[in-house]
Amino acid sequence: MTLKRRMLISNLIMIVLPFVISSLVGLFAAAMMHDAYWNPVENMFSDRDELVYAQSLLYGEQKPLTDTDPAHAEQREAAVRRLVIQMADLGYHVQYTLNGEEQFNNITPEDDQIGIGILGEEARKLDYITASKGNVHIIKTQWVNGNDVAIIRAINPGKDMEPVHFSFFYTYVSFFLFIMFFFVLITMVIVNTIMYNKSKELILDPLQQISKAAKAIRSGDLTTPVNLKGKQTEELLQVCHDFSDMQTYLKNSMARQAEYEKYRRELLAGISHDLRTPLTSIKGYAEGLLTGIADTQEKQQRYYRAIQTRADDLERLVNNLSLYNHFDTSMFMAKPEICSFSEILQTYIIEEKERFEKDNIVVEWNMETDEDRVYLDKTEFHRIFDNLFNNSVKYRVRPVSHIRLHLEKEDNVLVFLFSDDGPGIVASNTDYIFEAFVRLDAARTHTDQGSGLGLAIVKKIIEAHKGTIRAYNDRGLTICITLPLYKG
């Protein structure tokens, strides 16, 4: 069953159930207390012989019967006719006098004698009379409206009429109670309808929007908004906000997935390229040996050495791939220790002095801080330094590479700058040089120039040490590495 139908049924039950229960309780109470309560109340509101009712009829026509305006003559005549008919139904004869002039009279001399028999001759001198004897009733009243005086005299001779019993309770009170009950019922219906529509707006509409957005997600559309109108409950607002957050998360996840797929394709393409190049070379030299192209001892030795070199390139590439996969699958476990970054760097420079001289590398050192104690894995940072120096030599455009090393402190981090005097890179590509096999240099087409994994491995090691790395151009390429300082 849908929530909308449940809400509709609940609202109907809220109307019908109180009505049924109230009716049953009322009927049960009426049956149980009829003699003790109902009859006394009915008797209290009873009008024996309809005398009070006749008086109410007279007073109900007071206003038109005292109106002498000629323009209202028709209304006055209609009131007289209506009063005469109503009083006649009760057995009364009526005399109506306005300003001393008789306007209507159907009281007979016999009726007058009956009246005198009850009240005597003094009855003619009284202005107001309400008298009863047996079935005979006499009513006389007068009304003054400014200078106008209206006199009404009514006599019920009681001939050939059964005693009547008129109940105001049944005629007026019970009718009033019925009307009141009816309006209470109508009010309940209106209030429940309003509450249903309000609940529908607050609950069903947002749920329908969420359902629509969920169906859109199933079809791949993550842009369908969940728009809330008017005031909503905090719970539904939270649900809708959480749903919107989920949409954003899924959108970002799909974007990351697409980016990862692109990266994976590029990675596979890079691996294929860097594997194919030395394999093609090995295959060519092997065919030369097999077909006899290398027909001299010297040429055969040269082919063997070339095969050996390309095999070394393949071994280096496979080792770097294994190392990169080690980092990329979160299997890398750094073994950091507290040490001085400057001491580690200086030790490395001393150890590699001969290689620097052989590769024509000149190192300039600038240290602006003594606070350089960090947690780091010495072995892995030797690998970082190797990759940075090799990368600079690989892409240099001058015979001699000038490397500038700078160390400083910023807030609670240590900043290490590695700058060369090479050609740098296009500014828009600085975010890509740390990705595996990304070829930003068209000249890099041979594996003897490197595996294309050096800077990617550097980034993985830095991130494992909770540091950051970025690149920018500054008279060459500058690699900026930050590491959190040891707090002790």
Kind and range of the H or E element at 478? strand 477-484
Domain annotation covers residue 113: yes
CB atoms within 10 A of CB 90: 18
Domain annotation covers residue 108: yes
Domain annotation covers residue 119: yes
Instruction: Name the pairing type of β-strands 148-156 and 165-167.
Output: unpaired
Mean pLDDT for 31-53 is 59
Same domain, 380 and 464: yes
CB 390 within 8 A of CB 450: yes
Q: E-strand spans in 157-298? A: 165-167
Q: What is the CATH number of the domain that holds 273?
A: 1.10.287.130
Please choose, from the candidates 348, 369, 455, 450, the residue with its C-alpha nearest in 3D space to the C-alpha of residue 412: 369
Residue 386 CA to residue 406 CA, distance in Å, equals 17
Q: Which of 159-168, 219-228, 266-275, 399-408 has the lowest mean pLDDT?
A: 159-168
Listed residues 331, 346, 363: the one ending a domain: 331
Range(s) of the domain holding residue 385: 333-484
Residue 275 has pLDDT above 70, yes or no: yes
Q: Which of 80-89, 172-181, 227-236, 271-280 has the lowest mean pLDDT?
A: 227-236
Query: For 419-462, what is each residue's pLDDT tens digit?
Result: 998 888 887 777 778 876 665 554 333 444 545 677 888 888 88
Q: Which of 53-57, 64-68, 184-188, 228-232 has the lowest mean pLDDT?
A: 228-232
Return the ∠ at Cα 456 (arms to 461 and 462), rounded to 5°: 20
Same domain, 354 and 268: no
The sheet with strand 401-410 has its strands ordered as: 361-367, 401-410, 413-419, 477-484, 468-473
Same domain, 370 and 448: yes
Same domain, 264 and 344: no
Domain annotation covers residue 118: yes
Q: How far is CA 78 from CA 64, 92, 107, 291, 318, in A?
A: 9, 18, 19, 138, 119
* pTM summary value: 0.44
Residue 395 CA to residue 441 CA, distance in Å, equals 9
Domain annotation covers residue 389: yes
Same domain, 385 and 368: yes
Same domain, 300 and 350: no
Domain annotation covers residue 422: yes
Same domain, 139 and 240: no
Same domain, 319 and 342: no
Same domain, 311 and 345: no
Average pLDDT of every residue of the chain: 79
Same domain, 475 and 351: yes
Residue 168 has pLDDT above 60, yes or no: no
Listed residues 331, 361, 381: the one ending a domain: 331
Which is it for the CA torsion 144, 147, 148, 152, positive or negative?
positive
State the pLDDT confidence band at 390, using cuts at 50, 70 and 90: confident
Total domains in the fold of the chain:
3
